Amino acid sequence: MLTARPNLARDILIAAVALALLLLLPYVWPNKMINDLVIRVSAFALFATSLNLLVGYTGMVSFGHGMFFGFGAYAFGLSMQRLGVSIPTAFLITVLSSALLGLVVGAISIRLKDIYFSFITLAFQMLLYSTVIAWVPLTGGDQGLMGGIPRPPFLGVDLSIEAHRYAFAVTVMVAGLLILRQIVESPFGYTLRMIRDNTERASFLGINVFRAKLTAFVIAGVFGAIGGMVMALFVSGAYPEFVNWTMSGEGIFMIMLGGLSTFIGPAAGALILSVLNDVITRGTEHHGLFLGAVILLFALGLRKGVTDFIADWLRLNREAGSRGGN
């Protein structure tokens, strides 16, 4: 690209301010519970925003995105445990292997449209899940990756220190969201929107729809896997729940809760659902019952995400303002 996107500077500024605020948070409000929440939300924000690249921007309702989250956690954990590589190398292995996974699963799944696509992605996720459960010598089966993930220092960063872990997680999250933002605002991002709104027209205009969708699928998979990697670093392990279908269900709920028509909506949804999950887990042992009830209330009552309401409200205000000016 020869011409820089007009809003690039603004996006970088917002990202820098957000990162600075998040990095300052532990000094202003030193609270381990809040720190842990921010790290988990960082992982989920990457997961949900990457899912929204498919659902919100391309109209591909993947119900198997948890596959990448879990794969990222296991790929990273196994690289560290078995290969004894440095964290940046393990990061690279995670990115490359999840891209390969996205390429294979995507090449098969994208042949199917609409709801067929949803459940073939789910089926692939469950294949990975049953492999993780069955391949005990490698993955530890339903116990998960045990023994902790080694965290050797690199470039002056020591992730065995909690403050470093926090800074690393929020930096990866903000950088990841900034990159995803550039992707959705690029010409490629607008191609995806056109495919979502009118696939036929896009292909008449000479766009290779299959290739564009596959590219989106691979990109989303890689960022979903990075989310899983942040999670694996945080819990120092990887568990089958990361690969289970409920992960994908939660991802869908996150983007709906936050609102899929704004870029930041899914990340907001990740925050809301994480807080909600904490509250439910603390209050009752019947987690499914209560989370299910909340989801039903949302789906049958609210029907729109939080940032959708804010966006509507802002638009109404602006319209009222312009009317008042006339």
Give the three-state DSSP class for 278.
helix
Residue 42 in tokens: 């960082």
CA distance 220 to 251: 13
Work out how close the CB of 41 gets to another protein at its nearest, in angstroms, rounded to a whole number. Answer: 21
CA-wise closest residue to 243 among 135, 90, 88: 135
Residue 67 engages another protein in binding (rule: CB under 8 A):
no
CA distance 101 to 57: 21
CA distance 174 to 211: 28
Residue 57 engages another protein in binding (rule: CB under 8 A):
no
Work out how close the CB of 43 gets to another protein at its nearest, in angstroms, rounded to a whole number. Answer: 20
Residue type, 193: R
Give the three-state DSSP class for 7.
coil
How many residues sit in the footprint of another protein (CB under 8 A)?
41
CA distance 34 to 38: 6
Residue 53 engages another protein in binding (rule: CB under 8 A):
no
Give the residue with the Cβ less far from another protein, 188 or 298.
Answer: 298
Work out how close the CB of 148 gets to another protein at its nearest, in angstroms, rounded to a whole number. Answer: 27
Residue type, 51: L
Residue 141 engages another protein in binding (rule: CB under 8 A):
no
Give the residue with the Cβ less far from another protein, 21 or 297.
Answer: 297
Residue 280 engages another protein in binding (rule: CB under 8 A):
no
Give the residue with the Cβ less far from another protein, 99 or 123.
Answer: 123
Binding mask 71-90 for another protein (x = CB under 8 A): --------------------
Residue 17 engages another protein in binding (rule: CB under 8 A):
no
What is residue 154's DSSP assignment?
A: B
Residue 114 engages another protein in binding (rule: CB under 8 A):
yes
Q: Which of 10, 201, 211, 286 binds another protein (CB under 8 A)?
A: 286
Residue 302 engages another protein in binding (rule: CB under 8 A):
no
Q: Which of 92, 138, 205, 299 binds another protein (CB under 8 A)?
A: 299
Kindly compute the dihedral angle of the four CA atoms of residues 31, 32, 37, 40, in this order, to the nearest 10 degrees. 150
Beta strand ranges found along 224-296 (DSSP E):
none
Q: Which of 22, 87, 235, 256 binds another protein (CB under 8 A)?
A: 256
Give the residue with the Cβ less far from another protein, 136 or 163.
Answer: 136
Stretch that binds another protein, among 13-21, 24-32, 164-172, 253-261 (CB under 8 A): 253-261
CA distance 80 to 91: 9
Residue 103 engages another protein in binding (rule: CB under 8 A):
no
CA distance 116 to 199: 17
